Amino acid sequence: MSTPTAAISIKGLTKDFAVTLRGVKLRAVDALNLEVAEGQVYGLLGPNGSGKSTTIKILLGLLEPTVGDVRVFGVPSSQVEARRNVGYLPEAPYFYRYLSGRELVRFYARICGVSGSILKARVDEVIAWVGLSGAADRRVGTYSKGMLQRIGLAQALVHDPKLIVLDEPTAGVDPVGSAEMCELIVKLKQQGKTVLITSHLLAQIEDVCDRVAILDRGKLIVEGSVLELVGQRDRQALIVDPLPAADIEALRGWLAARGHSLNAVEQPRARLDQLFLSKVSRPNRPGDASAGVGSNEVPLDAKP
Amino acid sequence: MSVATVPFSFNRLGLIAGNTFLEAVRQKLFNFLLLLAIGLVASAQFFREFNFGSSELKFIADFGFGALVFFGSALTIATTAQLFFSEIENRTALTLLAKPLWRAEFVFGKFLGVFAVIGVFCALTIGLMLALLWHREGQLMTADPEAFTAGRIIAYGDLVVVGLLQWLKFGVLTAIVLLIASFSNTNLFTVVTGFFVLVICHLQYLARDAWGKVDNAFLAAVVQGLSFLFPNFQLFNLADSIGQGGGVDGAVALRVAGYGLAYIAVIGGLAVYSFRNREI
């Protein structure tokens, strides 16, 4: 029995696809067990063909599991009710090109049952929150990839779901757009949302995720908190001002006298994406600061 | 764990239908076929000399319904397949079906959207045909008043009824194409199969006539079964007597309408069942 707070519970999930008429099957997911607690940002990692997207599709009721039990907030994923509290941003999203961004978000809001007096306020709120107020009345067909991702996030959030599933949210997006997406994910976490995210950009996953699972050929290889998995608990790094060679040797001797060793002396490096973001001007979006707090239970509290 | 259920929603169904309609009327195919049909109907007066012995007004009516049936069938098959597969191939169906939306709402929404598009096509084509008939009948009444001593001979209301029945027939065809699309992998397969089924439905009365003449009971049952499997599209053609002073029997029209609605319900239900099991 899953814990009451589990946003996602996957038990013994196996998914086979028939690949030939003779009945030869491809096992996309193999006896997968996962549990994502409410409020976590959870990263699902793996190479292409590892079963990430298949797992997400089963979670969203788009595919039926061959074997296993998948639940969203305790509700079997095959039921329509399970999707009431889920927002989904597909990989490389494609939306109705002839609608404006506002019309698109409004359409999905109404599909999700948002209506009446809160509809307009909610649509305006999420559009501002993802930073698209200035382009909301442009046709989606004229949007860049980064803008498509952000309008996709807006449609995923418009009904104020508790679980947000992001499938490769930064695929094909430039570093500025990727960084903005990561900031949005952090803000979602601050609001108490549960976020399931798949990405090939492991540095970004590391920055935003509480826990990660690594899949390979449909099997779960590693699962745990980011700190547990990548932290080196038996080592420490001290960042100091540049030392002359003599001082380094003295430090080595001082440490040796106390039973420790100086394993490496190297110059710290900034990450290339951090350098890029510090040098490239980020788009200014006047008017987005109007993102107000609506009447929903979990408010969207700020612009990115 | 008990959760509130998501009931079937006509509001969501209407949203899908509205969006489907919007997408369809923005497509070049719809506008192209509509213009062709209107052009053909409008040109009927220029072909009056080729009336093959029938009355001129009947020829205009037949010509108009011919254009309606031909372009309407092509539009129904192509539009239904295109609008269904655009959702699948562009992956907008992924986003949509990941919402709290029943697949039945998706399928019937698609149906209603296409049905509305075909309705607009039929209304414009028949409206133009009626205007042409009215105009030409007026000219003939002026030229030869003795032939129209009892007033106008065209039963315009009956023409509208026949037009509505043709629209309903296209509705049956839409449901058939949706059923094929629900399990088909490609747009092309759906369109080609849709045209095959259209031909079968127009010719199935031959099978219906044949089953009484087959001696073998098993074969007779098979032929009879096939004749029920495919709707008889010939039943919807009630226009033959119009233009010669005849009209449409209301009771027959109602029976045909019920026949069409029953097929739409059954085939639409099968499409929903098939699509529920489809992996997106």
Q: What pLDDT digit, counting tens, does each position of A51-103 carry?
A: 999 999 999 999 999 999 999 999 999 999 999 999 999 988 889 989 999 99
Cα-to-chain-centroid distance, residue A111: 23
Q: Is A94 within 8 Å of B100 when comparing Cβ atoms?
A: no
pLDDT value for A254: 94
Could you give the maximum distance between any two Cα atoms of chain A, in Å? 74
pLDDT value for A201: 74
Does the pLDDT of residue A280 top 70, yes or no?
yes
Cα–Cα distance measured from residue A105 to residue A227, given in angstroms and rounded to the nearest whole number: 37
Listing DSSP states for B153-211 in one string gives: ---HHHHHHHHHHHHHHHHHHHHHHHHHHHH-S-HHHHHHHHHHHHHHHHHHHHHHHHG
Cα–Cα distance measured from residue B94 to residue A165, given in angstroms and rounded to the nearest whole number: 12
Position with higher pLDDT, A5 vs A298:
A5
Could you give the maximum distance between any two Cα atoms of chain B, in Å? 81
Helices B103-143 and B28-42 meet at what angle, rounded to 10?
20
Q: Is B19 within 8 Å of A63 when comparing Cβ atoms?
A: no
pTM listed for this prediction:
0.84
Pick from B16, B95, B99: CB nearest A90: B95
Helices B187-210 and B217-229 meet at what angle, rounded to 10?
130
| A95 close contact with B: CB closer than 8 A | yes
Cα–Cα distance measured from residue B29 to residue A167, given in angstroms and rounded to the nearest whole number: 34
Cα–Cα distance measured from residue A301 to residue A4, given in angstroms and rounded to the nearest whole number: 27
Sheet bearing A6-18, strands edge to edge = A25-37, A6-18, A67-72, A75-76
Q: Which of A98-107, A184-193, B151-160 has the lowest mean pLDDT?
A: B151-160
Find the closest chain A residue to B20 by CA distance.
A96
Find the closest chain A residue to B279 by CA distance.
A63
The total of other beta-carbon atoms located within 10 Å of residue A136's CB is 20
For CA atoms B231, B232, B238, B239, give the dihedral sign: positive
Question: A103 CA to chain B: closest CA distance, Å?
Answer: 11
Helices B10-25 and B28-42 meet at what angle, rounded to 10?
70
Which of B267, B253, B86 is closest to B174 using CA atoms? B267
Q: Is A107 within 8 Å of B101 when comparing Cβ atoms?
A: no
Q: Is A94 within 8 Å of B26 when comparing Cβ atoms?
A: no
Which of B169, B195, B191, B190 is closest to B180 using CA atoms? B190
Q: Is A81 within 8 Å of B3 when comparing Cβ atoms?
A: yes
pLDDT value for A282: 62
Question: A64 CA to chain B: closest CA distance, Å?
Answer: 7
3-state DSSP of chain A: CCCCCEEEEEEEEEEEEECCCCCCEEEEEEEEEEEEECCCEEEEECCCCCCHHHHHHHHCCCCCCCEEEEEECCEECCCHHHHHHEEEECCCCCCCCCCEHHHHHHHHHHHCCCCCHHHHHHHHHHHHHCCCHHHCCCEHHHCCHHHHHHHHHHHHHCCCCCEEEEECCCCCCCHHHHHHHHHHHHHHHHCCCEEEEECCCHHHHHHHCCEEEEEECCEEEEEEEHHHHHCCCCCCCCCCCCCCHHHHHHHHHHHHHCCCCCCCCCCCCCCHHHHHHHHCCCCCCCCHHHCCCCCCCCCCCCCC
A172-231 residues touching B, CB cutoff 8 A: none
Does the pLDDT of residue A291 top 70, yes or no?
no
Pick from A81, A86, A108: CB nearest B4: A81
Which chain B positions have a beta carbon within 8 Å of A80's beta carbon?
Answer: 5-6, 100-102
Which chain A positions have a beta carbon within 8 Å of B10's beta carbon?
Answer: none
The one-character DSSP state at B150 is T
Q: Is A94 within 8 Å of B98 when comparing Cβ atoms?
A: no
Q: Is B98 within 8 Å of A112 when comparing Cβ atoms?
A: no
Q: Is A64 within 8 Å of B279 when comparing Cβ atoms?
A: yes
The answer to whether the beta carbons of residues A285 and A134 sit under 8 Å apart is yes
Position with higher pLDDT, B134 vs A201:
B134
Strand A163-167 relative to strand A194-198, pairing: parallel
Size of interface A-B (CB pairs under 8 A): 82
Which of B202, B210, B128, B129 is closest to B172 using CA atoms? B202
Cα-to-chain-centroid distance, residue B180: 16
Find the closest chain A residue to B101 by CA distance.
A80
A62-81 residues touching B, CB cutoff 8 A: 62-64, 74-75, 80-81
Q: What are phi and psi of A42, to 5 degrees?
A: -115, 125
Cα–Cα distance measured from residue A112 to residue A128, given in angstroms and rounded to the nearest whole number: 19
Which of A148, A110, A112, A108 is closest to A132 using CA atoms? A148
Question: B215 CA to chain A: closest CA distance, Å?
Answer: 39
- A174 is written with which tokens? 């430039």
Query: Which value does ipTM take for this structure?
Result: 0.84
pLDDT digits (tens, 9 = 90+) for A194-217: 999 998 777 777 888 999 999 999
Cα–Cα distance measured from residue B189 to residue B183, given in angstroms and rounded to the nearest whole number: 10
Which chain B positions have a beta carbon within 8 Å of A25's beta carbon?
Answer: none
Of A103-107, A180-184, A228-232, B89-93, highest mean pLDDT: A103-107
| A84 close contact with B: CB closer than 8 A | yes
- B262 is written with which tokens? 């029953």
Tokens 């589990």 belong to residue: A6
Which of B177, B183, B208 is closest to B195 using CA atoms? B177
The one-character DSSP state at B8 is -
B26-45 residues touching A, CB cutoff 8 A: 26
pLDDT value for A214: 92
Which of B59, B58, B64 is closest to B246 using CA atoms? B58
pLDDT digits (tens, 9 = 90+) for A115-155: 888 999 999 999 999 989 999 999 999 998 888 989 999 99
Find the closest chain B residue to A64 by CA distance.
B279
Tokens 């209603």 belong to residue: B112
B170-229 residues touching A, CB cutoff 8 A: none
Position with higher pLDDT, B148 vs A3:
B148
Which chain B positions have a beta carbon within 8 Å of A93's beta carbon?
Answer: 91, 95
pLDDT value for A231: 77
Give which of A96, A114, A151 to mutate to test B binding, by max B Cβ within 10 Å: A96
Which chain A positions have a beta carbon within 8 Å of B101's beta carbon?
Answer: 80, 83, 111
Helices B250-276 and B103-143 meet at what angle, rounded to 10?
150
Cα–Cα distance measured from residue B32 to residue A30, given in angstroms and rounded to the nearest whole number: 50
Find the closest chain A residue to B13 by CA distance.
A111
The total of other beta-carbon atoms located within 10 Å of residue A67's CB is 13
Q: What are phi and psi of A252, to 5 degrees?
A: -60, -45
Helices marked H in chain B: 10-25, 28-42, 56-89, 92-97, 103-143, 156-183, 187-210, 217-229, 250-276
Q: Is A81 within 8 Å of B23 when comparing Cβ atoms?
A: no
> Cβ contacts of residue A99 below 8 Å, gap of 6+?
A107, A139, A140
Averaged pLDDT of chain B:
86
For CA atoms B13, B15, B16, B22, give the dihedral sign: positive
pLDDT digits (tens, 9 = 90+) for B61-103: 888 888 899 999 999 999 999 999 999 988 899 999 999 999 9
Which chain B positions have a beta carbon within 8 Å of A103's beta carbon?
Answer: none
Cα–Cα distance measured from residue B81 to residue B75, given in angstroms and rounded to the nearest whole number: 10
Q: Average pLDDT in the B117-146 region?
A: 88
Helices A145-157 and A175-190 meet at what angle, rounded to 10?
10
